[in-house]
Copies of this chain bind each other. A is one copy, B any other.
Amino acid sequence: MDTVTVLGLVAGSLTTLSFAPQVARAWRTGSTADLSLLMLVVFLAGVLLWLAYGVVRADPAIIAANAVTAALIGLLLSLKQKNG
């Protein structure tokens, strides 16, 4: 694997894993009032398009990062729907 792909995988790991503490916090506190619903919806739409972009470019870093991110944002969205 070339160095640039590794850079992309590290970048993708960070932006993706960053949502884990956010999901954990929302789960623990049951409070999501400060999260913007519009942010979550638009971000999810963008992440799904990035996933398509990664597939077309055959770019494993972009595919992996955005698949996991989409799942975490979906979780946040359901917590936001539940808690307001």
B36 A15 Cβ-Cβ under 8 A: no
> How does the 8 Å CB contact mask read for A32-65 relative to B, with 1 for contact and 0 for none?
1111101111110111011011001100010000
Query: A8 at interface (Cβ–Cβ under 8 A)?
Result: yes
Chain B residues in 8 Å Cβ range of A71: none
A8 B53 Cβ-Cβ under 8 A: yes
**Chain B residue with Cβ nearest A8:** B53
Q: Within the assembled complex, what's the spacing in Å between the Cα atoms of A24 and B42?
A: 15
B56 A14 Cβ-Cβ under 8 A: no
Q: 6 additional contacts, CB 8 Å, given A11-B52, A53-B61?
A: A4-B53, A8-B50, A11-B49, A11-B53, A18-B40, A29-B34
